[in-house]
Amino acid sequence: MSPIDRIRSYADELTALRRDLHAHPELGFEEVRTSGIVAAQLERFGIEVHRGLGKTGVVGLLQGRPGPRRIGLRADMDALPITEETNLPYRSTAPGKMHACGHDGHTTMLLGAARYLAETRDFAGTAVFVFQPAEEGLGGARAMIADGLFRKFPVDEIYAIHNAPHGPHGVLQLRPGPIMAAADFFDIRITGRGAHAAMPHQGIDPIVVATALAQAMQSIVSRNSNPLKSAVVSITQIHAGAAYNVIPEGAHLAGTVRTFDADLRRLIASRIRELAAGFAAAYGATIEVDLRDVFSVLDNHPEQAAAAAEIATELFGPENVVADTMPHMGSEDFADMVAAVPGAYAWLGATPGPGLHNACFDFDDSLIPLGAAYLARMVERRAAA
């Protein structure tokens, strides 16, 4: 029986588990219930369990036949601070929290792979199952690594998979080299001088400064960066004021920078600070810039990406594998894991529907046996490499 067919034989159980996780979402570093369920499932499969790595992370160890190789598989567990707008019977029961990125599905796929490997034991060496907290911008991968993930549980390679709601269904996409962008988050706090709205000459209007700075920042990519290198500067928040007739004391801009090139990343950061300093001087305001490295570039290792494509071709057929897909400007902190050990990251196409981080998103449960089989086969093949 193929791994896909075997996992399909208990797909109903996995689907019920996934939907339970969906109904009870937990934000980053708060995945107490989720990690408890993961640990209990792994123990039920006879897998050695270690809890508390990176606060709420879980690691499972499974020994196959004697062999020196150790293959890691990783899934993320956290939800997003989004209010769900579906009418699903298993919709979120936690106000303002939702599995809008499919991490409930990724966790379930890895549990499905763990069960398959525990039942078959048709591999040499050790499978290391990494259930990571806080992928959504809170640094869960870095927290697990800082807690000794690869020191306590060394691996030769590590792999991860993410659902792709834009489809095509069942098509696995990956590429060697950079596949997802680095991300910096920024907060820019502008302090002016408050005044009556009817007497603006008595104040320093931080809203005027904020809007002028926001417009100028859009010129960084168009006029300072090499047009052959991809970059995004997005201002996603503007906060200021609370009354119709008051010029406020301060304003706040926030957003994100996405890049693949380290020099360009530094250039954009420098230009943001230079523009802020210039506008502060021009308007007589004070501007503080807090720019934070949140995600590194996710750089697939060529050997591991080629192996992943080969294994996916075996499982899904050559017509369902794209081994040279375009990079995404989104970010993913699995980047820190493949910066530490060789590995590869792939997307698995779902039935097209609402996109990631959308209040109407739902994970496509038909992907569970496919993703689980892919992860399991990575262990079977790469442990023998």
Query: pLDDT tens digits for 291-345?
Result: 999 999 999 999 999 999 999 999 999 999 999 999 999 999 999 999 999 999 9
Which residues of the chain have a pLDDT value below 70?
A: none
Nearest to 305 by CA among 103, 130, 158: 158
pLDDT of residue 86: 97
Give CA angle at 112 (53, 86), nearest 5°: 90
> Which amino acid, one-letter code, is at 306?
A
pLDDT of residue 1: 82
**What's the pLDDT score for residue 160?**
98
Distances in Å between the alpha carbon of 12 and those of 8, 19, 77, 240, 365? 8, 11, 20, 50, 9
And the tokens for 140? 């869960």
The predicted pLDDT at position 385 comes to: 83
Burial 263-279 (b: 16+ CB within 10 A, else e): ebbebbbebbeebbeeb
Half-sphere exposure of residue 362: CA atoms within 13 angstroms, side-chain side = 19
User: pTM of the entire structure?
Assistant: 0.95
Contact 280, 238 (CB under 8 A): no
Task: Return the pLDDT at 298.
Answer: 98
For the chain, the C-alpha Rg in angstroms (whole number) is: 23
In the sheet that holds 65-76, the strands lie side by side as 48-53, 57-63, 124-132, 65-76, 157-164, 343-349, 172-173, 321-322
